[in-house]
Amino acid sequence: MTGPNESVPGHPEGSDSPTRWQNPPGAQQGRQPAQPDANGQEPAYSEERTDSTPHPAVPASQQAPQQPYPPQQAHDPNLPPLTPQQYHEAQYQHAQQPPPPPLPQPQRGRHSLANGTDLTSAHLVRRTKRRPQSGWRKAVYVGTGKLINPGESPADRRRRELIARVNQPLRGCFKIGMLSLKGGVGKTTTTTTLGATFASLRGDRVIAVDANPDRGTLSQKIPIETTATVRHLLRDAARITRYSDVRSYTSQGSSRLEILASEQDPAVSEAFSENDYRRTVDLLEHFYNIVLTDCGTGLMHSAMKGVLDAADSLVIVSSGSVDGARSASATLDWLDAHGYGDLVKRSVAVINSVRPKGGSVDLDKLAAHFAARTRGVCRIPFDPHLEEGAEIELDRLQGETRLALLELAATVADGFAGDRLPR
pLDDT tens digit string along 237-274?
Answer: 999 999 999 999 999 999 999 999 988 766 564 677 88
pLDDT for residue 9 is more than 50: no
pLDDT value for 19: 45
Query: What is the per-residue pLDDT across 57-113, written as a single tens digit (0 to 9) for each?
Result: 455 555 555 555 445 545 555 656 656 666 556 666 666 666 666 665 555 555 555
Calculate the dihedral angle through the C-alpha atoms of 71, 74, 78, 83, rounding to the nearest 10 degrees: -110
How would residue 214 be classed by pLDDT, with cut points 50, 70 and 90?
confident
pLDDT for residue 341 is more than 80: yes
- Rounded Cα distance between 308 and 315, Å, is 12
Task: For residue 354, report the phi and psi dihedrals to the nearest 5 degrees.
Answer: -80, 120
pLDDT for residue 5 is more than 60: no
Classify residue 179 as left (phi > 0), alpha (psi -120 to 50) or beta. beta
Higher pLDDT, 403 or 321: 403
Higher pLDDT, 99 or 227: 227
pLDDT value for 144: 81
pLDDT value for 358: 62
- Rounded Cα distance between 250 and 207, Å, is 9
Evaluated on CA atoms 358, 362, 364, 368, the torsion sign reads: negative
Is the separation of the CB atoms in 308 and 160 below 8 Å?
Answer: no
Residue range(s) in the chain whose domain bears CATH number 3.40.50.300: 170-413
Whole-number average pLDDT of the chain: 78
pLDDT for residue 11 is more than 50: no
10 Å Cβ neighbour count for 252?
Answer: 17
Tell me what the mean pLDDT of segment 319-336 comes to.
90
Evaluated on CA atoms 400, 402, 405, 411, the torsion sign reads: negative
- Rounded Cα distance between 350 and 379, Å, is 6
In DSSP notation, 58-77 reads S-GGGSPPPPPPPPPPSS-T
Q: 178, exposed or middle or buried, with CB in 10 Å at 0-12, 13-18, 19+?
A: buried
Higher pLDDT, 143 or 122: 143
pLDDT for residue 392 is more than 80: yes
- Rounded Cα distance between 353 and 376, Å, is 17
Is the separation of the CB atoms in 214 and 231 below 8 Å?
Answer: no
Residue partners of 273: CB distance under 8 A and separation at least 6: 302, 303, 306
Higher pLDDT, 73 or 353: 353
CA atoms in the 13 A half-sphere facing the CB of 121: 2
pLDDT value for 421: 54
Which of the residue ranges 92-106, 113-127, 209-223 would you say has the lowest mean pLDDT? 92-106
pLDDT value for 63: 52
Tell me what the mean pLDDT of segment 212-230 comes to.
87
Amino acid (1-letter code) at residue 404: A
Query: What is the per-residue pLDDT across 144-186, written as a single tens digit (0 to 9) for each?
Result: 887 777 777 788 889 999 999 999 999 899 999 999 888 888 8
Q: Is the pTM of this model over 0.85?
A: no
Amino acid (1-letter code) at residue 39: N
- Rounded Cα distance between 393 and 26, Å, is 105
Higher pLDDT, 222 or 71: 222
Highest mean predicted confidence (pLDDT) among 6-10, 295-299, 320-324: 320-324
pLDDT for residue 196 is more than 70: yes
Fold classification of 170-413 (topology level): Rossmann fold (3.40.50)
pLDDT value for 346: 92
Is the separation of the CB atoms in 316 and 348 below 8 Å?
Answer: yes
- Percentage, residues of the chain above pLDDT 90: 44
Is the separation of the CB atoms in 408 and 176 below 8 Å?
Answer: no
